[in-house]
Structure 1
């Protein structure tokens, strides 16, 4: 699309909203496909006085694609505290400032959190302009029906011993866990996930939204071999470590058989939360542990009162 037409379209779509002066606009940008930028993000980038950014060269290319020319200010992990003071001063002078990272939503894995904190601490406004996110994009196609929510872990420790310890600590989570990894360390992550829980399901996203995007689902045991095929080890990775199915968790293993029978019978006829509360009151056992046992029973379709 012609840049002038694109800017006109963005104004028509987004200009009706209020864009207060003296505010920081945290703008999500594409993670690979330039078409993923929103019309509202384009309008904000046109409107602001300054664009603070993780890498001025990357942001300059994005702005040129949009037909924009803006004053740029570098705000990255090495200067974020000092640069935040300059942003605060610009906001106090009544300017609008946008912050963008190299790709995706700032302050999730990229820099930006310290900047946002400094602006808020100064009593100034921070406004989110939603955009692309590798985390949400991959979760939307993971199909993890056993997960009780999700947690974004990001990059695991680079050293093998610390990475294995982190994975073992996370292994029993009832949530879907999202990791990021670079092509330089992805084979080590694959090896460790296969060692820790080889049957655990993974959804692997490679080069999300880009021309050679891959989204594949497999047991962790298969991932190391998949990486060795073709060019699969190249590119940036996001990985969903699916939640362990309730029957695979150890939460109810230590519960006495009579308690398991009771929780199973109650879960067959009452909401899971209510069943766990009742048994917790009767036994004094942790309600969280009982909730997991009741949920596992419900999902298995067990009914301890049925002799069959």
Structure 2
């Protein structure tokens, strides 16, 4: 007897639940009701005859079987999207203008390479600027879309992910003990990371000073590694030469979360631009706990 065919919508809901961390967030992301999401997961678990999620009062995590199923689910959804695109009647062509933060362009090669492979007739133009500049360019229809970082309280754009901000220093460095606190940060008015960090310090009554400013995280990182300052980042930016400081242990304030958002031009989107936007959404939202595909996302 043939095994029953799995429901791709149920698999999509399962992936959304795991990545968002809750049924409520997954329902919002999928534009379903929460009961519909719950029913889809229940049918999927019944079809596979395993429990996919372990539910507690505080956490929602995939079981061992759920972790294994998650990889297959993502691959099945990817193949479904690829098949639809490959069999499309129209040959997608034209030009797409994409904006990425200054330190971001080198850290999304696989997605851009995949798009170029799927749509060889599309000419892609990538601009590397600060997030605030890119948002203005999207608004003015100078570019088709931009991936930017924004404070979670800001409006506009499609939220792709939400990441915690963390204090970062060199291992063994005591820079966090100095007052005023020396910061390696982006120029004032250009960076959601900087404004979030300085606002938190001001609320906590901790004096700070800008010890080093640069638009590139690589330059800021070198200053931090030298023990001259601390900086603020998302965890995926932190490598073995840096360490995350625990606020309660070093006397620094808790930091807010930061959104990674996709802004799109208000003009009529071409088929090429829509295809790139869809691929970006798929790739960014399907990356694990942090943005392993984007280890130096900033500004």
Is this a same-fold pair by TM over 0.5? Answer: no
Name the TM-score, length of structure 1 as normaliser.
0.28
Query: Which structure's CA Rg is the greater one?
Result: 1
Greater strand percent: which structure? 2
Which of the pair has the greater relative contact order for Cα pairs under 8 Å at 6+ separation?
A: 2
Name the TM-score, length of structure 2 as normaliser.
0.29
